[in-house]
Amino acid sequence: MIHEEISSAGTSIWLDDLSRSKISGNQPHALPARIRDAGVVGVTTNPSIFNSAISKGVEYATDIQSLNKSSVESVVKKLTTDDVRGACDLFAHIAQNSLDGRVSIEVDPRKAHQTQQTIDEGIALWKIVDRPNAMIKVPATLEGLPAVTELISLGISVNVTLIFSVERYVQVIDAFMTGLEKRVKAGSEIASVSSVASFFISRIDTAIDERLKSLNTDGARTLLGKAAIANAAIAYEAFESAMTSPRWKALADKGARMQRPLWASTGVKDPVYEDTRYVINLVAPHTVNTMPQATLDALLDHGKYRGETLQSLYSQSHEVVKNLSTLGIELAEITTYLEIDGVNKFIASWEELLNNVAQVMQS
């Protein structure tokens, strides 16, 4: 089975989706079946996922109406944390013996540029969910980085999300290590703290391919569909460098768990591309690939395992970035835009969710 081959190579399969029906259902797409039959060992969520689940899921209506004397935000917080807690319980047996079995919940995206507010909400969510295999998702904005350090230093597991550039990813690694070092200095254990760094994939190709197509030259066409995987390969190269550094060795010797790269946004946006390309081309040790349901289904149906595909791409990946620059396409410019756009899209989803829940409460 391809999911077993991918897992054996060191890439864990997580599902980028969550709803109440998936937690308790018996259908093939529900989490118990996915854990048993598809090798799913973790879950990620985001404001868009919660908006889709709660706004369209009739199973939430009774709870929403029963809480109609509460504020809209408190109702949404209860619904989302209840779902995450339920998913954490499903994966608890996996989390006992591995870095997997984690379920992520994101801080309010409207606080992405507010360090202290992100810290405060991260602490609150950690206490409300009250499960050791939960992860608090924090956007990798410049203001989010100190929040990552502080939450890690408090012993809170963190999923650092919306990472688009290798430069920002290196800062994320530093924020993570700094948090662990603060715990060590305070005399606290670090073995129980988990973290992943969510590096976004498909949106890179979507943005850069648009520019390449507008150039409409032979040189531009040869680079179509190459930027996202190249960017990920260079990020993994940075991960390997960090994990072999004296700084990390000192932390590992004290029991630290590595912060694994997590490939996010792995659903293919352009139908001309192979629908499993952001899974089978990103297989490497100590990584996670979180994928939407459609991508997981495609992988199980017709995905072709090609071995550990990422580590052999370093040289050609740097060449891709160089060639893009020659054409006037600067990756740093694209990733800066995508970070801003990513935060804004999550804010829009969160506000839509609040509005939808408010309407149910008033009905």
Q: Letter for the amino acid at 102?
A: R
User: Cα–Cα distances in Å, from 13 out to 2, 228, 293?
Assistant: 11, 19, 11
Can you state the angle between helices 47-56 and 72-95, rounded to 10 degrees? Answer: 110
CB atoms within 10 A of CB 154: 18
What is the spatial distance between Cα 135 and Cα 117, in angstroms, rounded to a whole number?
Answer: 17
Contacts of 215 (CB under 8 A, 6+ apart): 327
Q: Is 249 a catalytic residue?
A: no
Contacts of 105 (CB under 8 A, 6+ apart): 45, 80, 81, 84, 125, 129, 134, 135, 136, 137
Element (H, E) at 234: helix 227-243
For 32-61, give one letter per residue: b (16+ CB within 10 A) or e. Answer: eebbeebbbbbbbbbbbbbbbbbbeeeebe
User: Pick the catalytic residue: 127, 137, 304, 322?
Assistant: 137
Q: Which of 199, 227, 202 is nearest to 212 (CA)?
A: 227
Asked if 22 and 49 touch (Cβ cutoff 8 Å), the reply is no
Dmax (CA) of the chain: 62
Contacts of 151 (CB under 8 A, 6+ apart): 119, 122, 123, 126, 136, 138, 158, 179
What is the spatial distance between Cα 73 and Cα 77, in angstroms, rounded to a whole number?
Answer: 6
Q: Name the residues annotated as catalytic.
A: 137
